[in-house]
Amino acid sequence: MVRTIATQLLRFSCQKLIAHVRSLSPTPSTGKSPRRHTNDVNSHPNIRPYSTLFRKNYTMLATVFAAGFAWEIGFNSTMDKVWDSNNRGRQWKDIRHKYVEGGEDEE
């Protein structure tokens, strides 16, 4: 049973590969490859921000650094809140009032 499933998957992937190669090969009547419309892809509203941010190396690098910095700030603040809620009453900031009296310093 496993062997038949594996052969079916292999047969299916080979058929997909052959169909893909045939779509890229020149048409037999003209000998030319089919035209690709690259402008249609870039004009799609969901693609436009990606093509703007990742078109050049320096904009991609700046985008990645800014996203990483924002992710770090958000992740750290979220994890601090989770840590504080799980350890409420056990941290120094929660029990300080029991041990420290007013603002007087004794020497």
pLDDT at 41: 55
pLDDT at 104: 58
- CB neighbours of residue 42 within 10 Å: 13
> Where in the chain are the domains?
60-92
Average pLDDT, the chain: 78
Say how far apart CA 48 and CA 15 lie, in whole Å. Answer: 33
- Residues sharing a CB contact under 8 Å with residue 63, sequence separation 6 or more, in sequence order: 53, 54
Evaluate if residue 30 carries a pLDDT over 60. yes
Is the pTM of the predicted complex or chain greater than 0.85? no
